[in-house]
Amino acid sequence: MSQDTQAMHHWRDRLKHEWLLLFFVALAIVLACVDPQPLNRYQRWLQLPTLSGLLGLLIAIQGIRDSGLVQRAAGMMVARMHSLRGVGLLLISMTAVLSTVLTNDVSLFLMVPLTVAIGNMSNLPILRMAVLEALAVNAGSTLSPIGNPQNLLIWQHAQIPFLQFVGGMLPAAWVMFVLVAALTLVWLPKGRVTLHAERLDGHAISISLAALSVVSLVMMALMMEHGHAPLGALLLVVPFALFSWRSLKHIDWLLLATFAAIFLGLGHFASLPVVGHALDRIDFDQPLALYLSGIVSSQLISNVPATVLLLDRASDAIGLAVAVNVGGFGVVIGSLANLIALRLAKQPHGMRLFHEVSIPFLLVCAPLVYVVAHWL
Q: Please give the backbone phi and psi of residue 192, each rounded to the nearest 5 degrees, phi first.
A: -95, 160
Closest CA to 200 of 286, 122, 262, 314: 122
Instruction: Give the span between the Cα atoms of 75 and 202, in whole angstroms.
Output: 10
Instruction: Give the span between the Cα atoms of 342 and 348, in whole angstroms.
Output: 10
Instruction: Give the span between the Cα atoms of 28 and 246, in whole angstroms.
Output: 32
pTM of this prediction? 0.82
Chain Cα centroid distance, residue 280: 30
DSSP SS3 for 38: coil
Per-residue pLDDT of the chain (376 residues; tens, 9 = 90+): 555 565 555 556 666 667 778 888 998 999 999 999 998 988 888 878 878 888 888 888 888 878 877 767 776 776 677 788 988 998 999 899 989 877 788 889 888 988 998 888 888 899 999 999 999 999 999 998 878 888 888 887 888 888 999 999 999 999 999 999 999 999 999 888 887 655 555 556 788 888 888 888 888 878 877 778 889 888 888 888 888 888 888 788 888 888 888 888 888 888 888 888 888 888 888 999 999 999 999 998 888 888 888 888 888 999 999 999 999 999 998 998 998 899 888 888 889 999 999 999 999 999 999 999 877 6
In order of 53, 153, 341, the CA distances from 107 in angstroms are 14, 19, 10
- Indicate the helix (H) or strand (E) that contains 173: helix 162-187
Closest CA to 255 of 31, 94, 55: 55
Contact 295, 323 (CB under 8 A): yes
Beta carbons within 10 angstroms of residue 118's beta carbon: 23
DSSP SS3 for 195: strand
- DSSP state, 365? H
Cβ neighbours of residue 97 under 8 Å, at least 6 residues apart? 140
Cβ neighbours of residue 227 under 8 Å, at least 6 residues apart? 49
Instruction: Give the span between the Cα atoms of 177 and 179, in whole angstroms.
Output: 5
